[in-house]
Amino acid sequence: MTDLHLSLLSMYMDSSKLKRTEIRDIEPAEGTYFVSLLNVYVGVELHNQLGILLKDTPKIIEFKHRCRDFYVSACVEIRKRYDFTNEITPKLTYLTPRIALGTSDTRPLSIQPLVCSLPRIVRSNEIEKIQRHDDQWRKLPVETFPKNFALPMWTVFG
């Protein structure tokens, strides 16, 4: 959700300001972050077509103003429904198959940060249990799974 939200914000907000600000501190409707209407991103093909279809700059500005309003509304609604201050939610991406079974740099070496964030599953003082989970986590990328292991749910989320 964070990636989608940032992607939408970057369509109408100054990317240098977005990089300097925590996502939880960005107000989607805050005008000081907006790029000029002519620089609102509408996609490559539509951008090319706008120059052909709307020779009149005021019409292009009006169109991009409506696009920005849509982006703002979408981002405001995302903020209403998603808590960007929650520490656990971003860590849940560790469990997507692409990350959990992968070997890229985006895969955490340890699952301890996630496990320790979930005290109802494992208490922080249960070091042996945490170590077992962490050992299993570290073995995942080198495990050999049957060819029919790709469950439909995993292919949707991974």
Residue 28 shares a structural domain with residue 51: yes
Nearest to 14 by CA among 24, 117, 30: 30
Q: How many domains does the chain have?
A: 2
Interval 106-115: pLDDT, tens = 788 998 888 8
Domain boundary (28, 50, 81) is at 81
Q: Give the per-residue pLDDT at 122.
A: 83
Query: pTM of the predicted model, to two decimals?
Result: 0.63
Q: Which of 5-14, 91-100, 128-137 has the lowest mean pLDDT?
A: 91-100
Alpha-carbon distance of 156 to 83, in angstroms, equals 23
Treating both helix axes as pointing N-terminal to C-terminal, what angle do 57-81 and 2-10 enclose, rounded to 10 degrees? 160
Interval 15-39: pLDDT, tens = 998 899 888 889 999 999 999 998 9
Residue 27 shares a structural domain with residue 74: yes
pLDDT higher at 72 or 111: 72
